Amino acid sequence: MNNQFIPVYKVHEYLTGSPPSIKTLEDRVEAQKSIYLASILGVNCGDFVYTWYKKGPYSPALTELLYDNKDSLDKNYNSYSLREDIKEILEPLKIVVEKNYIKKSMTDWMELLASIHYLYYDDLKNKKINELTKELLSYKSKLKYDRKDIEKGFTALAEIGLIN
């Protein structure tokens, strides 16, 4: 087992309430976004580089780690725990994920949050909400998210200090 797997497992479990999975596309998206969002808070789960892909920031190395450890995904890791300082860092994000201001699936909410953050800081432009909304709507189906969803995601990220 890769030594990055346990932190990925425990961070994902803490943020979402369930262990990571690769069974469905939604599971894989949720794993990608939970670790991306944790990393922008400063929680280092491994050397994952993210680029833009269809559903937002994506790390091929994280996907590889999950598939390489697919036989370990169903195991119980209760003997491992996150340090209290890591939980404190993650707690505001966990609350935002649980509140789900757009009332869609947790996966869609996390995808929106990660995508907003990624595009906001793309090329260090610190985009304004109108510019970011236009760009995000050009990447994502207008049937999936609307302007109000994006505004709610932007507000949620600002509340926990991930964008200003």
164 part of a folded domain: no
71 part of a folded domain: yes
150 part of a folded domain: yes
Q: How many domains does the chain have?
A: 1
- Confidence band for 124, pLDDT divided at 50, 70 and 90: low
Q: What is the pLDDT of residues 16-28, one digit of tens each?
A: 999 999 999 999 9
Q: Is the predicted pLDDT of residue 43 greater than 90, yes or no?
A: yes
Write out the DSSP string of the chain. --TTHHHHHHHHHHHHSS----SSHHHHHHHHHHHHHHHHTT---S----EEETTEEE-HHHHHHHHHTGGGTTS--TT----HHHHHHHHHHHHHHHH-TT-S-HHHHHHHHHHHHHHHSGGG----HHHHHHHHHHHS-TTT--HHHHHHHHHHHHHTTS--
Q: Which domain holds residue 151?
A: 5-159
Q: What pTM does this model have?
A: 0.90
